[in-house]
Each structure stands twice: as structure tokens, then as C-alpha cells.
Structure 1
Amino acid sequence: MSKSQDETYRPHGHGASVHDAETLPYGLYEDTYRPAYEAEAYFVTEPEPPRPPVGAPPPPVDAVEPEYEPAGGRAARRRRARYTERPDSAVRRLLPQALVVAFLAGGTTAFVANDKAVELSVDGRPRTLHTFADNVSELLAEEGVPVGAHDMVAPAPGTPLAAGDEVAVRYGRPVRLTLDGRQHEVWTTAKTVDGALRELGVRAEGAYLSASRSQSIGRTGLALDVRTERTVTIMADGRSRTIRTNAATVREALQEAGVTLHGQDTTSVPPGGFPRDGQTVTVLRVRGFREVREEQIPFGVHRTADPALFQGTEVVDQPGQPGLRRVTYFLRTVNGVREKPRREESEVVRRPREQVVRVGSKPRPHSVHGADHLDWKSLAACESGGRPNAVDASGTYGGLYQFDARTWQSLGGSGRPQDAPAEEQTYRAKKLYQQRGSTPWPHCGTRLHG
């Protein structure tokens, strides 16, 4: 084989130079095939021996390398050097490359490990995304998803994330709920009225709803009126009726029960009130009418002192007369039972006339000489039964001692004797005894002496 043929099998870049080909004995070929990883990692080029300067004496015969070397000589040594020897210079040259390769390989591994595929659902709209976030809070911040106090996040913010996790965010919606007449301000994450009722635990079967159960609830919220079905008992006209109703007022419940209110009829609870579950409503049948009554107005008494009369004596100069008042009352019966009349108006028909009375202020004498020792109590018991206001059947005689008007006035008395105090009547009787003895009392006079 020619020299050119030898160079064809020993190209540059595979570990041999042209000079090496010239020194190979004819019939010997360098093994030029080498895997790429062996060529880059382990191949080391043997340095060319230095040439002697021009004019220098030839080296000794023993030091001169023979031009031809049998098989297994120089070529074999080169192969062993390529596969077994790793000089320190080569290690130092390959170490930075190996570190770069290791760093890049480690960085790629870390990059791949931190990248997670998760599913994020916001208000029911899911999407799959890749993220480097370590927890749910970082993921929501990374995706620009704000959450408030009434929003629901599952799993909770701050929960660590792993590949394949699912994160759900449902926004809270305000609901101005009027439930059975009572107002509430509540929040729900449901997007429909039906979902909100289930979430709030409101029993909707048979209930009245101000909005359709399928109506959606926007982020701004919704006003919802709910009246659940209730059991109400109606007591009317001696009968009891129990109904299931979602009526808004007691009056509506009565209509559903077939009970009608007439005139002044009412109920035991306000007809416009809200009927509660288990409530009993009694219908009150009211019948009312007015009645006019005439009533007396008491007269007043005007008293004046009279020094001509003994103390304790009163003389009526002008008798009093009661007035007259016309009063209108409203009377009513409830379920047949009459109630206390209610006064509505009053009209004075006749004004009362005042009574004028003179009251004695004259000091009463203590005794009458010659008559104090007599038994006047026995005489009074015989004449009048001991009654100061006694009057005989004819009306002529009156008082304890049965004076007639003429005798009474002659003794200084005024008015009628039966109207005078008992002490004055006894005093006048003593004076009469001084004048005439016991003859004025022909039947009972003997009682004076026991």
C-alpha cells in the first residue's frame, strides 16, 4: 500500500499525524475507529520527540529509535497510552468541562422538578397551567386571582402544591334574604338561587320564592324573599281548620282556609302579621252598637256661718238640685260575650243647682237650771224611739221630743226640729219644761222622773 493510501485511513482529528504515517512499517495500519465519547474524554495525543539541531553529532546507536518496529511495538504502546494513561494536564483540562456539564445537567433537573402542572378552577371555570409556586397563596398571587373574607379557596391558602393538584376558588355573593318575615344579610358561594338555598340550609319544598330557583346570582348579589311552608290552625265559628300554607299574612291564611272576616271581625293576632309554624289563630266575631244613657250630675253645697244658730246646727236655705247628663256608650260582644261599655261622648242637658246651708256658730249652753237632772233619754225613747230625725205619721211633729214647728220656733229653734242636732233638741226641750213642765208630753212626761 502506498503512502497516500496510509493517509486515507489516518485522517487528522482522530489522534494521528502525517508524520506518524510515514514512520509506520509497510503492511501495518493504525486503528483509526474510535467512539465519539472515547475520542473526547479519553484520547491524549503523544508529544512528538524533539529533533536534534543541524550539525549536531548523531545520537548513539543505542539511543536511536529503529526506523521499523515489529508489530506490537510502537503502535501497541500508543494504543496503551490512549486507553490507560491520563496525565494530570489532561485531567485539569477536562475537569472544568465536566463541571459545566454537571451543572447544566443539575440545573435542568431542578428546573424540571420545580415546574408543576396543576388545575386552577375560578368560579367554576377550570384551566390547567404550569407553575413554579410552592403553595396555594403563591399560585393565586402569580395568576392574579384576588380572594376576600367571604370567598372559598380549597385547599386553604398556604397549602403546599404538588404536581397534579386541583385548586378551586369560588367567590362569595351577598344575599339580602327575607326568610319568613325576618331579614338576614348572608353570603353564599353558590351561583344560582337553588344552590344558595341548599348552601344556607333553607327548606324550599312548597315555599314561596321571589326569584326562580334557576336564576343566577351575580357577584353583586341578590335580594331574595322566601316563605317556607308552615302548619297553621284556624279556630272560627266553633270549628278548627289546620292548613299548610306559605301565606305572607294571617289574612291570606284565613282566605286559604275559607274563613271570611265581616264588619268588625278580627283575629287573636294582627291580621297583617306573619303566620308562624304551629300557630293557632282564633277568629273573633265582633258585634257592636251604641247606647245613650241619662245620668245625674251631683249638686254642690255652699255653707255659711250663722251666729244666731247654736254650734252643730245647720239650716238649708236653698235645697240643691242635681243636673242631668246624656252619655253615649259603645257596647260590643265578642263571640257572643258582652264586654264592658266604652264611653264615647257626653252632653249636659241640665246643670245642677247649688244647695245653700247656714251653719250655727253660737256657743251651746251647758245646762238649763232645774231641768238637767231629769231623765231626758227615757222621754226621747218614749216619744220617738230615740231617733233625732223621727217624724209622726201626720208630719206635724218631729225630732226626739216630737216638737211641732210653732213650739220649736218659739223656743229659739230654726228650721225643722228633726233637722237639728240631738243636743239642740234636748236643750230646747229643757227650756220648754221650764215654761210648762211635763204637760207638753201627756203620755210620756212621767218618764222624766223615772
Structure 2
Amino acid sequence: MSNAQGTHRAARGAATPVPGAATEAGGTRLPHQSDWNAVPNSSWADEAAATGCLPLIPEQEPAPTAAAPVGARTAARRAARNGGRPEPAAGGSRRDSRRDPRPELRPDSLRRLLPQALVVAFLAGGTVAFLAGDKDVQLTVDGEPRTLHTFADDVGEVLAQQGVTVGEHDLVAPGPQAELHDGDQVEVRFGRPVTLTLDGHRRLLWTTADTVDEALRELGVRAEGAHLSASRGSSIGRHGLDLDVRTERTVTLLADGRERTVRTNAATVREVVAQSGITLQNQDTTSVDPESFPREGQTISVLRISGTEEVREEPVRFRTEKHKDAKLFHGTEAVDTPGKAGVRRVTYAFRTVNGVKQRPRIIRSEIVREPVTQVVRIGTKPLPTSVAGADGLNWQGLAHCEAGGRPHAVDPSGTYGGLYQFDTQTWHSLGGSGRPQDAPAGEQTFRAKRLYIQRGSSPWPVCGRKLGG
């Protein structure tokens, strides 16, 4: 190869030789389409992609021949410098020799070079676009970074390519719709459920923190001096965590005439009392439930209790059942089963709280004897209004004389009762039930008429004369 050819090749980059490509003058030329077909794609295509231009194809050295005369070799070198044209004759015109120093390009050569140049331009442009679309991105998922190359246009696309699925409680920065550029950093933090019991109040929260300390800061929970069910450095997995937090509170205790103010993160009032050095003895208690949660600023009194218990037996009232009876006249009641009261044993506590006596308080109660239910029959039979031989008498005058017209009147001895002062035996013999003073006025008048038919006015020796007028 000549020095001119070597210099030209070094300037354009190393070229891939194409078998069978040669020139008449032993120089270099652009490859023909038929030459491309003879070279593997990886050879010239790689060089075209790397340099952005079509590689030159060096011509093969001519085969060694017999030494030519010096004049002939000099003419050949001059022809190579003139683009393959022979040196003009010595006697020719100098003007003619400077007319056109460029080699002549025939139309068929142009037709062959144009598609080759278009292909090279297409390959170079595609390579530039390919390299421009590739992005170097750092993706951090839950604190674990990874560097990747991607052609994704936005954050959501690169997450889908990496198989990262995010939900409503997860954090993606920048957002899934944000455009992606070379050198961007994308962070994904998955949400974790935290069942937080804060000072006795339980609720479900979501956090992207992966430690208890970060979660407390993110949720705005004051943890100084607080009791934590898990240490601050504990990790929070994707499954979440149950966290109990009791913040430090100020509680005031009143006991034995003294006031104590304490700072505590105790879970119960009983624990606060114990922390303050106060001892509860026997029946002693506090003004609030000892097992309740102590609140910020709460004032609690300690109650010193002393007292005794007393057991008493008290009656239990019986029930009454009433049943209708068509054999009894309307308004009449008959007791079939008398009721009996039961007995209940009650234990009372008599207490003195901080020196002040309290009202008795029932602490136990039990039934000793069950009460007996009373059963009563109520008459529904209509009362007769007439008794032959006695209807025209002055029964109202007799009733006024005997009982002052009062159906429930009873004499001082308790033997006679009602409008007509029946004794119980006479009343039952006339078909009445119970006591006469408990029967309706109409029934009493009906029974009195029947008695008059049997015995006349003799049952009423003083007032019987009223019947006549």
C-alpha cells in the first residue's frame, strides 16, 4: 500500500477491506452495492454506527509484475495524483491542463452512490436516536437502590418494567405521571399498617416509615418519656405492627389531707397511686375506677373507707292473678288461693368515707322463701234486678238507716257490713261470696230482697219500719 493510501486511511479511520474491490489506479474508492453484499453486516454496519460515516474500502495492491521502465512508473504515479487521468503531453496547453483538476463522475456512478449515502445516513440517525432514548436511572425501593438503564418515558412505565406495584398507601417520588430523564432518581416507599393505641385510644394508621422511631415522627406522636410496646429502633415490616404508646402525663392525687402531683406514663389509676407512694388498705379505693386510664391534668381522690355489714330479712310481695267466672255476678270477686308474701335476705354495708358516714348500701341480696301468688275469680254473670214480692219496698230508706247509704260500711265490731249490714254467714246463705261490704250495691239490694221474702223485716229490728214508707 502507498504512503498516500496509508495517510488517507489513518485520517478516516480503519476501513474493512471488501473482497474483490479494486481500482484501476491503485487508490481508494467508495464501496459499490455489490461490495456491501460481499461483507458481513456486522463489519461495515458496526463501523458506520461507531463513526457516523461510510467506511472507505482500500484498494488491493496490484499483483507484482515485471519492473517497468522508470518513465512508465513515473507516469503511473502522476496519473494517480491526477485522479487516474494521464499526464498531459509536454507540448500541450498549460491552460488545458488546469481546466478541471477533479476526477470526472459519470451519471451511473452518481446513481450508485446515492442509495449508499442514504443508508449510511439512516443508520447514523437511528444510532443517535437509540443512544438518546436510553436513560440511566436510580430506583430506590424501600431503601434498596438499584441502577438501571431504561427507555421508559415516565415513572409509572419504569415501575411497570421493574414489576413494582404501588397502592393508595404507598409513596412514589416523583409521581407515576412524571416524565423520566437521564440521571433521575425515583424512590418508592411501601405503606405499612400500624394499629396504634395512643393513651387508650385505638386506631388504624398507615405509614411509609420502616422503623418505630420514624413512624412516631411521621404520625406526630410525642414519644419523650412515653412507654412504648416496641423499641424505637424496631423495624416495621410490610405486614405492619401493633404499637401501644402511653405518653407522659401530669396527674394530681388527693390523699390523707395532702396533694401530690406526679408525672407518669402508667396504664391505670392504681399504678399512679402506687408510683406516688400511697398505699390502699382494706376497703380503700379512689374517686374513679382504679383500673381506668389516667388522663392529663386529672385530679384523683383516695378514699379511706371503714364500716360494717348488717343482714336484714325483708318481705317480698306476692303477685295476683285474676280469672273471669260466669257463675259469679258481675262485680263480684272470689279468692281461690290467698297470696303469701315471700322473704328476702339483704346484706347492707354501713360505711364511713374519709370520716363521713354514708347511706346504707346493698351489697348482697337473696330470696329465702318464694312468695305465693293469689288467685282471684271475677264474676261476669248479669245481676237480677227484681224479686217478686219485694220490689215495691223502700230499700233506699232502709240502706240509709242501716249504713248511711254507704255500700262499704262496716259496724264497729266488724261483724256486719254493707248497705244492709249483713253478717258473713247470712250473706253466704243468700248466695253471696266473700264479704258483703265488698259486693256491688246492686247485689247487696238483690240479696236483701231475697232475705225479706224469707224472713220479712225481722233482720232489721230497728230500721225495718223504713221499708213501708
TM-score bracket, shorter-length normalisation: 0.5 to 0.7
Q: Secondary structure at the match of 2:78?
A: coil
Determine the structure 1 residue equivalent to 2:90.
70
Are 1:12 and 2:26 counterparts?
yes
Change (3 A) 1:31 1:185: farther
Instruction: For residue 103 of structure 1, report the CA deviation from its aligned partner.
Output: 0.7
> Deviation at 1:83?
1.6
C-alpha distance 295-223 of structure 1, shift in aligned 2 (>3 A):
closer
> Where does structure 2 lack aligned partners over 5 or more consecutive residues?
1-23, 30-58, 316-343, 369-397, 405-469
Residue number in structure 1 paired with 2:360: 341
**1:223 CA drift (Å):** 1.7
Secondary structure of 1:211's partner? coil
For 1:261-301, what per-residue CA distance to the aligned partner results, in whole angstroms no more than 9, with x for missing partners? 222222222111111111111222222223578999xxxxx
State the shift of 1:91 in Å: 2.6
Say which SS state the counterpart of residue 223 (structure 1) adopts.
Answer: strand
The structure with more radius of gyration: 1
Distance 1:345 1:251, change over 3 A: closer
Q: How does 1:427-446 map to 2 (within 5 A)?
A: none
Q: Partner of 1:202: helix, strand, or coil?
A: coil
The answer to whether the aligner puts 1:97 opposite 2:97 as a matched pair is: no
Matching of residue 140 in structure 1 with residue 178 in structure 2: no
| Local SS of the residue matching 2:102 | helix
1:79-113: CA deviation from partner (whole Å, max 9, x where unpaired): 86562754443332211111111111111110111
Change (3 A) 1:129 1:33: farther
Q: Does residue 1:31 correspond to 2:82, yes or no?
A: no
Q: Deviations over 1:394-450 (max 9, x none)?
A: xxxxxxxxxxxxxxxxxxxxxxxxxxxxxxxxxxxxxxxxxxxxxxxxxxxxxxxxx
The answer to whether the Cα contact below 8 Å between 1:25 and 1:68 also exists between their aligned partners in 2 is no
Q: Is the 8 Å Cα contact of residues 193 and 240 (structure 2) preserved in structure 1?
A: yes
In structure 1, stretches of 5+ residues that fail to align are 1-9, 49-66, 297-324, 349-359, 367-450
Q: Distance in 2 between matches of 1:30 and 1:252?
A: 113
Structure 1 residue aligned with 2:222: 203
Match of residue 259 from structure 2: 240
| Alpha-carbon distance, 1:251 to partner | 0.4
The amino acid of 1:156's aligned partner reads G
CA RMSD after TM alignment? 4.2
Alignment-derived partner of residue 193 in structure 2: 174
Residue 136 of structure 1 aligns to which amino acid in structure 2? Answer: V
Higher mean displacement: 81-90 or 101-110: 81-90
Q: Residue in 2 aligned with 1:331?
A: 350
3-state secondary structure, aligned to 2:131: helix
Structure 1 Cα separation of the partners of residues 231 and 73 of structure 2: 103
Note closer, same or farther for the CA distance 1:276–1:109 as it changes in structure 2 (3 Å cut): same
The 5 Å alignment of 1:32-431 reads 69-70=89-90, 83=102, 85-291=104-310, 329-342=348-361, 363=401
Q: Distance in 1 between matches of 2:74 and 2:284?
A: 137
Q: Secondary structure at the match of 2:175?
A: coil
CA separation in 1, counterparts of 2:75 and 2:95?
A: 9
Q: TM-score, normalised by structure 1?
A: 0.55
